[in-house]
Homo-oligomer: A and B are copies of this chain.
Amino acid sequence: MSMSRGSNGAERLVVIGGDAAGMSAASQARRLKGPDELEIVAFERGHFTSYSACGIPYWVGGDVSDRDELIARTPQEHRARDIDLRLRTEVTEIDVEKGGVRARDVDSGEESWTPYDKLVIATGARPIRPDLPGIDALGVHGVQTLDDGQDLLDTLTSARGRRAVVVGAGYIGVEMAEALINRGFEVTVVNRGREPMSTLDPDMGRLVHRAMEGLGITMVNDAEVTKLHMGEDGRVRAVATADAEYPADVVVLGIGVHPETALAKAAGLPLGEHGGLLTDLAMRVRGHENIWAGGDCVEVLDLVSGRERHIALGTHANKHGQIIGANVGGGYATFPGVVGTAVSKVCDLEIARTGLREKDARRAGLQFETVTIESTSRARYYPSASPMTVKMLAERRTGRLLGVQIVGREGAGKRVDIAAVALTAGMTVEQMTALDLGYAPPFSPVWDPVLVAARKAAAAVRNKTP
């Protein structure tokens, strides 16, 4: 064991990144060990800590009135718990051999060296910003940080027209489309894929497509942005694809994110095929006894395919933080992996998925049956029962559930949790047909939509089994 680096004989924990994973880890470690045992230094290059990046679209859209509502714990609150939090301080180097980090004060440029006994890397993700002509025009915004959100809101307020173009039709794209509609903009979504929501199979994405059009959103699929036109004032004017041009007073980039692992890479830490840090089940960086990593900068095990994936999602980051904090604090906890659950909405349309899409299953070498059913959120005769489409994939022969996708209105999204738990438990679709789910007419038809899908999937598996 290395000698203690902290003052007064305490060990020192250094945390890189002040959002969900990093500060959850710091808080949990602090809960388990007081300042006399563990000194905690946390570096954050921005102004904020522990905020909900997932909430930014709702703040931009006006559902959340104040930025501060998105902040779960302020710097002051962290400091009050004896966490030495250094804002606006960017870590520029990790020296794994010496056990220390070099950091730079963003404002003064001053550099410092901080040794650690234990290190937590929670550097998050970086939004993809394609290298296109005009990408730096005024009025072109990402929505990754609270600062991004404020910049976008300022643009919306000052925009001369009401035309918005969203580039990308994943979760961020569709959520921002809703936000912009709520702000009174005319919205065009330009999407590289065949259908929006590429986390769904295209047949389910097609339902999202239709619903978005029904909401007055112009959906342009199979379209790659080639250029952004800028006016003489430096503001964006239009988004160009190979085939067309879409006038724009504001452009929002919702293309996705990459793990932010430049530091980790330079330090020689192990990265996976998606560019994320690789950890063991206790969230320890592989091969490094005293370094942990979690949140948007790591890859996670997909329990269904058995492969590593990169998923940037606050709920995983919070879990990672808790687990890292427990381990750093002398306890024991592990993160078994994910099944790939995600929910989203655009206006009153709810979109959910868990497990494998058809192409994921094929890539994993699986053969499978797929079924799609229509049902309703409540008993058909109950007021406001709304239609819901459920697609289910089950493995051939074994009948093991592989994935579920749901598109519908109120009550559709969170039904995916049934499938998320069933996937985690390795259930077959035949087993699922007997699930004792909550039934009463205001909550579900007598056969819950997920059960209807399971019955059809089980029949498909049986019919293919000689």
Contact = CB atoms under 8 A, between A and B. Distances in A.
Interface of A: 20, 52, 54-55, 58, 63-64, 69-70, 171, 175, 313-316, 318-319, 322, 334-336, 338-345, 350, 352, 354, 379-383, 411, 413-418, 420-422, 424-425, 427, 431, 433-444, 446-448, 455
Given A424-B435, A447-B315, A440 B345 contact: yes
Given A417-B417, A417-B448, 16 more contacts: A52-B379, A55-B381, A63-B382, A64-B382, A64-B383, A175-B440, A314-B446, A315-B448, A334-B434, A335-B434, A341-B436, A343-B443, A345-B443, A416-B438, A420-B437, A421-B437
B382 A438 contact: no
B438 A420 contact: yes
Contact of A64 (B20, B70, B381, B425): B381
A168 to B, nearest CB: 17
Contacts of A414: 411, 414-415, 438, 443-444
27 contacts: A20-B446, A52-B379, A54-B440, A55-B382, A63-B383, A64-B382, A69-B380, A315-B437, A318-B447, A319-B434, A336-B434, A341-B436, A343-B443, A345-B442, A354-B438, A411-B414, A413-B438, A413-B443, A414-B438, A417-B438, A417-B448, A420-B435, A420-B437, A421-B427, A424-B425, A424-B431, A425-B425
A66 to B, nearest CB: 8
Contacts of A431: 336, 424
Contacts of A344: 440
A164 B381 CA distance: 26
A417 B438 CA distance: 6
A318 B64 contact: no
Number of copies: 2
From A175, A313, A315, name the one whose CB has the most chain B CB atoms within 10 angstroms: A315
A340 B436 contact: yes
Contact of A52 (B64, B441, B455): B441
Given A55-B379, A381-B55, A381-B70, A420 B436 contact: yes
Nearest to A437: B417
A411 B413 CA distance: 11
A442 to B, nearest CB: 5
A54 B318 contact: no
A114 to B, nearest CB: 29
Contact of A439 (B315, B433, B435, B447): B315
Contacts of A438: 341-343, 352, 354, 413-414, 416-417, 420
A51 to B, nearest CB: 10
A424 B436 contact: yes
Nearest to A336: B434
B415 A435 contact: no
A334 B440 CA distance: 23
